Structures are given as structure tokens and as C-alpha cells.
Amino acid sequence: MQGAPVFGLSPSWLLHDGRPVADAMVLSHPEQLERLRAHCPQAAPTAVLAGDPCFDRILAARPRRESFRRALGVHRGQRLVLLNSTWNPESLFGDAGDDVLPALLPRLTAELPADEYRLAAVLHPNIWHGHGPGQIRSWLDRARRGGLALVDPLDGWRQALLAADAVIGDHGSVSYYAAALGTPVLLGAAPLDGLDPHSPVAAFVRDAPRLDPYTPLLGRLERLLAAHRPLPGPAALTTAVPGESAARLRTLFYSLIGIPEPTGPALLERLPLPPYEPPLRTAPMRVLTRLLGDGEVTVTRHADPAYEPVGDGELHTAVHEETRDPGQLDLADVVLGHGAPDDPRLGPPEERAAEALARHPGCALAAYVTDATSCTVRTRAGALVRLEGDRGGPDPAAYASALHAWLAAGKSLDELTERGLTVRTGAVAHQVRVLR
């Protein structure tokens, strides 16, 4: 063997007293056999080409991508960015190297327009085990209040990966699987130490685009998506036998235990549909709006931004009643709440809106989101309306901000009840019914 020991392929991993510790070593691609022969030839006779059951489950679930996106509350025209990290000190979530994460975390949800980007994070189970759930949630608290979804590290990461439009990661398997699916990947951490320099993962780390955590995120993501060309290596080298791992592994296992293999197809468990988890942004929102005429309003919302959003239009502040800092509610132009209209703990949304206006005399409008498509709004002038969008639209709180901008410009509510309201988020226009 030449060079430093390679993780997973060196004699220290595979041999005991010079003999293989395993009866069979499962490989997903013939190129791995060549590297095994180079690094640990004594284990090569145990190698069996049996594919990758994890990747096969991902491939089989590709037709359900839209369902997985809806489970995370991703709406029409919105992009899902998945942050992921493996578990060593040089990973994206590690404590060595360039301290990428401390520079990145406060900016994740603040810099990206909330209705154009949805964010989720997948962290290796060993990160949860090593630091503890409390510490993980503490580190991610600000981003979570800005709308970051924290994905289950065992049962939900494959579905989130399939749903993603872009991935920010490191040299771990999630980033490599993303590249194999053709998803754009930015590497925030890219160490080559410990990787076989001839391995597909090392080639991926050398070739994938890099994330500079100190430059604006929005522009970097937009350039990545616009210029993306899938790397050929990951798709070709993740598995040589896609869709065959269940059958090959079953044949191997029954041959090892020496009993006849059952008849019938060998099947892998389907990826389950995760619970519905729409974003709940309790951080204060700065909202940039612009009236385009004919009942159309552009809305760009940023959660807890460090700097004022830039662009033509008018700014206002929208604050959720569950904000960490209740004092922010006294500064709000729009007060927001969420809850089912029949929840006995909360009361009817029209009453809650009236109570919010009474508690916060500085706000112009109170809105309560009652389901995925609509919200109930009461204005300072006493008007009560229901805003209803179509399925696949943005957070209905964006509709409330559009209505506030319309009324603040001196426009008539009657005009909207006749023809409706058009709310534009990014490049997508959403039709909203205004019901009195």
C-alpha cells in the first residue's frame, strides 16, 4: 500500500492478524475493487458487487419529489436549499478549518428572500450524539426562527435531498448523493485529508464549486443555479447496478448463511412521506413592497436581516405574536399569528385580530394564518377580510403584507374585493381572492 491509510480501505480497518475480518465486503462499483486491491489486497477476494441500497431507495422515490417538497412547505416558484454536514472536525459543522458555520448561520435566513427560498438542514446523527440535541438547537435557533427546517437525521434526509434545488455541504455522502442526482452543490468545507486521492469522492471535492461564506449568499446561489452543469463522476460511480441492490444483497446473505433463497422479488422499503412542516417564521420580518397597478403588489420578505433590504418600494415590519422579543410587536406595522380557526385555545381568528389591534396600537393590520392558503385580516379602520390564495402559493402572511402596502398607499379595499389581489414573489404571480 502506498500513501497514508485511507478511511475504510486500509488494513487497519479490514484485517485482523493479516486476515479479513468480514466474509464479504459489499462494493457498489467496480472502481472500488481496484482501489481495494491497491490498498488492501488481502481483502480483495471477499469483495462482492451488490450496489447501493440507500441510493436505490432514493432513485425509486424520485417520482414523489413534489410530495416531499410540499411536506416541507415549499411552494410554487420557491427554491429549497439544503444545508448538510458530515461529522468530523473539518466538516461544515466541524470546529476546525475556516469556521465556516459561525459566519454562515446568522445569514442563512436573513439574506435569502423568505418567499423565494426555503431552507432546511440535515446533520449527521453523530453530530447530534456528540453535541446533544439541546446544543444543536441552540446553535441553529436564530436560523430556525427565521424559517430553517431541521430535518430528522435518520428518517427524513433522503426525502429532503430529493426535494432540494441546491445543496450546501461538505465531503460527506449527502453532498455526493446530491451530485449523483444532478443537484447543484456548493462545498462550504472541502478537506482532502483522509480521502483516497484516486476516489470518486476526492475528485468530486476537487471539482465541485466552493462557497465563500463571507460573500453574499443570494448572488452566489443564483449564479450556481444558472450555470449548473452536473458533474459526470458522481452519477456514473455511485452504483454500477442501479435498482439491483435488494436482489444482489439477498442472494449474498442467503449464500452466507447457507439456506435457499426465497422466491419472489427482493424489495427495499419505500421512503415514507414525512410529516407536513411548513415554515413558521417568528423572527421579525422586514418587507419590501412595490405597487405595480391593477391590484398587483410585489412582496420581498427577509427574516431578521442585518441590513435593510435594497430595492425600489416601501418598507414595513411584520412581526409574529410568538416572537422571542415581545417588544418588537410595538414596532410592527403588521402583526401575524398562526392557528386553526377551531382551536379552542385560541378563539376565532377575527376576534384574535381585534385583540391584537387593541394590544398593539401602533400596528395598522393584524393577520392570522388559518391554513396553508388563507388568512383572516382586520385593519385599523375596522375592515375584516379573508385573503384566499390557491394551493401551492406562498405563506399567506405575504398576502397580508401585500394588502397592507395597498392600503398604506391610499388605495381602496373595495377595488380588491371586486377584482382580487395579485401578489408577486420573485418571478411568480399569485392570485388572491379578497372576501369580506
Phi/psi zone of residue 99: left (φ > 0), alpha (ψ -120 to 50 degrees), beta? left
Q: How far from the centroid of its chain's Cα atoms is residue 8's Cα?
A: 30
Mean pLDDT of the chain: 94
- Sort 113 into a burial class: Cβ within 10 Å, 0-12 / 13-18 / 19+: middle
Per-residue model confidence (pLDDT) at position 98 = 63
Distance separating alpha carbons of residues 135 and 221, to the nearest angstrom: 28
Residue-level pLDDT at 97: 56
Evaluate if residue 135 carries a pLDDT over 80: yes
Give the mean pLDDT of 418-432: 96
For 59-120, give the DSSP string.
Answer: HHTGGGHHHHHHHTT--TT-EEEEEEE-SSTTSTT-SSTT-HHHHHGGGHHHHS-TTTEEEE
- pLDDT of the residue at 5: 66
Which pLDDT tens digit goes with each residue over 28-76?
A: 999 999 999 999 999 999 999 999 999 999 999 999 999 999 999 999 9
**What does the alpha-carbon distance between residue 167 and residue 183 come to, in Å, rounded to a whole number?**
7
Rounded to an integer, the average pLDDT of 171-194 is 93
| 337-355: average pLDDT | 94
- Stated pTM of the model: 0.95
Mean pLDDT of 206-224: 93
What's the alpha-carbon Rg for the chain, to the nearest Å?
26
Instruction: Indicate the SS3 state at residue 207.
Output: helix
Q: Edge-to-edge, what's the strand order for the sheet holding 166-169? A: 149-150, 117-123, 79-85, 166-169, 185-187
In which element (H, E) is residue 178 found?
helix 173-180
Helices (H), 239-327: 245-257
Percent of the chain with pLDDT over 90: 87
Confidence of residue 214 (pLDDT cuts 50, 70, 90): confident
Tell the burial category of 196 from Cβ atoms under 10 Å away from its Cβ (0-12, 13-18, 19+): buried
> CB of 113 within 8 A of CB of 202?
no
Confidence category of residue 125, pLDDT binned at 50, 70, 90: very high
pLDDT tens-digit profile of 74-107? 999 999 999 999 998 888 888 665 667 777 878 8
Would the pLDDT of 1 be above 50?
no
pLDDT at 225: 97
